[in-house]
A and B are shown apart, each in its own frame.
Chain A
Amino acid sequence: MTRNLYTIPRTIEILCFAAGMSCAFITFPEKAGAEQPKAATEATEACLECHAEKGESITFADKTSKSVQVDRKSWLSSVHGGKLACTDCHREISGYPHRKVKFQDAREYTLARGNTCQRCHYAQYTRALDSTHYEILKAGVREAPICVDCHGAHAIQNPKTPRLSINEKCATCHGSITDEFKLSVHGKALLQNNPDAPACTDCHGAHAIPSPSGAEFRLNSYKLCAECHSNEEKMKKYGLNTDVLVTYLDDFHGASNRLYALGAGRPEKPIATCNDCHGVHNIQSFKDKDPKMAREKVVKSCQKCHLGVTPAFADAWLSHYPPSLKTAPLVWAIKVAYTILIPLIMVGLVLHILLHLWRLRSHR
């Protein structure tokens, strides 16, 4: 068995590593560290000697088999290519012939090696343990995605570029939602490679993806929208109103939602938040639409929760604009009246009190 550890490829690997290191030390002693990837590449070559060949496959206990071929080109052009050696991840393999291990099927192998990435990508791995994906995996759904299901195994590319590729990854399982999203105002912009348009992960997160059907997610969801929609610089480009957050919070629904989000108990009834009126993945722009039609939509949105209310009830919502003399004269007048009245009365009363005290001091 001990002889097995020093098989020919392993010996070559060690020799190459030694040669590489001494070479580096002799010629560029100060760049010894930078030369290390070269050693990794050479060590990998030893594995690729067999694994780059077509036709090699392994058979699992359930008699299914899987090719063990690794495409040299895609491995080398991946983010890890030339930086990691095969055995950095395949740590259980240390020689040839490989130690035999028994797995029911390919998925069982993948799941058993699920924590491989943790060694280097600790933060991301740990965040993923908080995700709804890990939750359903724990519950026994073997198809729940782990690192390699989204990132790939050997041909891993920078997950952030192109941004559209993020959505493609999610579409593997969430196909219908991704299709719906493509038709939305955000989806269309993303398809045009607009860097401002959100991809799935911008709202849902990449690793710590929370369950979107949970109460916590719903209560805090307005913050996701606000992140871009109250950003003046970003919204200016599209001529969009940035008062959306303030006007929402100043209204009954927004103030309630915020208080619940801050921990003031759990709502007995769901409180309207951005997506209840605007939609979730199918958000459409109202910019070029007829205002009358937009109003009709507001009425319908109200009626979802407030059964049987009149269009006048929906007019209580002043849209995402602060009240003005033109749009809502009564609301505006009350706002202005109190802004003047409260300080005026208070200053008057305080002056009266101070005068009284002054008189008592100076004349008694």
Chain B
Amino acid sequence: MSQPKIIRRPDGTILIERFSPFRRVEHLLVIAGFTLLVLTGFPQKFYEASWAASVLQFFGGLDRARTLHRVVGIIFSVQAVIHIAIIAVGILSSKMRLTLLPTSQDFRDVFATLSYYFGYTKEHPRYPKFDYRQKFEYLGMVLGGLVMVFSGLALLYPGFITSFLPGQIIPAARLAHSNEALLAFCVLVVWHVYGSHLSPEVFPMDKSMFTGYLTLDYLKEHHNLEYRRLFPKEAAADDAAKAATGKEH
């Protein structure tokens, strides 16, 4: 099992690595790719809108925007293949901890969190390295990405696809590509922007995706199970102290 890097600074703060440099580069590539794909794709989806033609003109017309969309799409697809291949190798060599894989605990966490929000329970549930909200977003990204990659390929090579599949695949791929894009965009704007920027817990920005590190305090507060896994002694001491103060009252 891999252990994350832990940096102890001279001033006493402890930083725990959350994202390896490779993951940080992956995220930067996704930002660039997603932005370009949305900018060149949405005007094609919303062809009725008045802004559609102006945005396409910015890219030098519909034909150039399409070429760019395809090139970026292929880069995005290659990235997706590499991402999944690394996971596959990680599973086969059992060297990877699947911290983003949803478990039954995540479903229980959903209900525990909601009942905490409604005030039925006093204790906030403790989350692992990635909470269910983050797992939902990641899984949506990967599964949605796969939908986009396969429907995109069908739209890029319709002649080849229909040489062995029925013709209905093409309009189906077109609908899936266009709707999945809209869904991904909406989730990004609402869920990701809230979770990583607007939420009072992280406002104005959760920088760990760019710096790669979380502080010990943040880890303890928001990903308590991971904190307990990495710092079992400190966690036990915390619990003992808490129990003591509980008795005093």
On A, residues with C-beta under 8 Å from B are: 249, 251-252, 255-256, 258-260, 262-268, 306, 308-318, 323, 328-331, 334-335, 338, 341-342, 345-346, 349-350, 352-353, 355-360, 362-363
Q: Are the C-beta atoms of B57 and A264 separated by less than 8 Å?
A: yes
Q: Are the C-beta atoms of B174 and A252 separated by less than 8 Å?
A: yes
> Total interface residues on B, using CB and 8 Å?
47
User: A360 to B117, alpha carbons, bound, how many Å?
Assistant: 8
- The count of A-to-B residue pairs whose CB atoms sit within 8 angstroms is 133
Q: Are the C-beta atoms of A328 and B168 separated by less than 8 Å?
A: yes
Q: Are the C-beta atoms of B118 and A355 separated by less than 8 Å?
A: yes
- Nearest chain A CB to B139 CB, angstrom units: 13
CB-CB nearest 9 A-B residue pairs: A265-B61, A315-B167, A316-B170, A338-B179, A264-B56, A262-B53, A313-B162, A316-B167, A312-B162
On B, residues with C-beta under 8 Å from A are: 43-44, 47-48, 52-53, 56-57, 60-65, 114, 116-119, 133, 155, 158-159, 162-163, 165-172, 174-176, 179-180, 182-183, 186-187, 190-191, 194, 199-200
Say what secondary structure dominates the interface of chain B.
helix
Residue of A266, A311, A341, A359 ringed by the most chain B CB atoms within 10 A? A359
User: A313 to B199, alpha carbons, bound, how many Å?
Assistant: 48
Please give me the residue from chain A that is nearest to B151 by CB atom: A334
The 8 sampled A-B contact pairs (Cβ below 8 Å) are A256-B44, A265-B64, A310-B159, A318-B168, A334-B179, A338-B176, A342-B179, A349-B187
User: A358 to B175, alpha carbons, bound, how many Å?
Assistant: 37
Q: Are the C-beta atoms of B167 and A345 separated by less than 8 Å?
A: no
- Nearest chain B CB to A266 CB, angstrom units: 7
Q: Are the C-beta atoms of A316 and B175 separated by less than 8 Å?
A: no
Known: A259-B44, A331-B175. A342 touches B186 (CB 8 A): yes
- Kindly identify which residue among B60, B64, B162, B163 contacts A315, using a CB–CB cutoff of 8 Å: B162
User: A238 to B8, alpha carbons, bound, how many Å?
Assistant: 82
- Kindly identify which residue among B62, B65, B174, B182 contacts A267, using a CB–CB cutoff of 8 Å: B62
